[in-house]
Amino acid sequence: MDTLLTPAQVEIRRKARDLAERHARPKAAEYDRTGEYPHDVMREIVRAGFMGIWIPKEYGGGGCGILETCLVVEELSRVCGGLGVAYSVNALGSFPIILGGTAEQKHRWLPRIASGADYIAFALSEKGAGSDAGGMKARASTDNGAYRIDGDKKWTTNAGVANLFTVFASTDPTKGTRGISAFEVERGTPGFAIGRREDTTGIRCVPIHETHFKACRIPAANRLGEEGKGFHLAMATLDRARPSVAAQALGLAQGALDLAAQFVAQRKQFGQAIAQFQAIQFMLADMDTQVQAARQLVYAAALAADRQEKDFSRLAAMAKLFASDTAMRVTTDAAQLFGGYGYVRDFPIEKFMRDAKITQIYEGTNQVQRIVIARALLKETEALIADPSRVIVRPPE
């Protein structure tokens, strides 16, 4: 796999793996049990130069791409899925600033994220608007040269610790998705409140909250991009963030496979290590193959996004879909290989299974990813059959 990476990327991966093993693995179970945010590990991430690795150098970041970000996310998630989310959600929240912000806005907010001084959250989903982001009810109206935001958001990841929030609200409800705009809201702004924390099945060290806006007044200078361009900005952001979700899933799958292989090589039944039984070997072979295939697709999607290739959105959807489905299969099979020990918290494997499930759901459910992929395929096919000379098969008349 190293042949796909540059020496600099291999070194990033090595450093990230070392950091995760030394600082995260010893505390992963405790963070999962208590739900405490991993502040100490995040400080190590900042010291290693990984925070804001995706942010351009002129704004204090590492000047790297999505692939390098995915390498860090993969290694963190290989040890703790929650830590991988706590780190990568800062990329999700800051991509709208990178893509749609003015130079002044970038200089104002991005260095704070890159330095680790502030964390950022992404507030798009609502109780009645998840996959259907265009159905959001949050409103932003002009108010004497400023904006007033009213509404509620759901599933705001990182909300408990973030100081910056990228928020989407409709400035013209009559236009549907074309009436949505994007804003940056800072913690402490009057009218903005952090609501109840979600009691999640997995990724428990990440504070996911409802967020509420009631006559929340922000300067017009806090709007990202033009009015009505917020939905486009959100979709462009998600296209760039999905490889990171895929990398979370990939790391979880690899971490679970590592643990399972070690366990079956030592666990004895019927007078021998259970790894000697063909049924176990076949399970391991399938798991390893799935993980390696997912890695190829995740890296390809990240590289395509960095190069802004024409079909990178389709590849990002494929990577998220395949890697997260792989993570669920592999972590479930890994728990099976642990037998009864895979169902108790004395052993770490059940956490991987709980952490993996969310990767099939957030940042676009896998059902939505299949829609994205199919539409891209059919659009390509329609363009092909428009040219009769390229048609190689036709249905019977």
The residues carrying an active-site annotation are 363
Give the length of the chain. 397
Beta bridge partners of 123: 167
Residue type (1 letter), 15: K
Residue whose C-alpha is closest to residue 72's, from 93, 105, 56, 50: 50
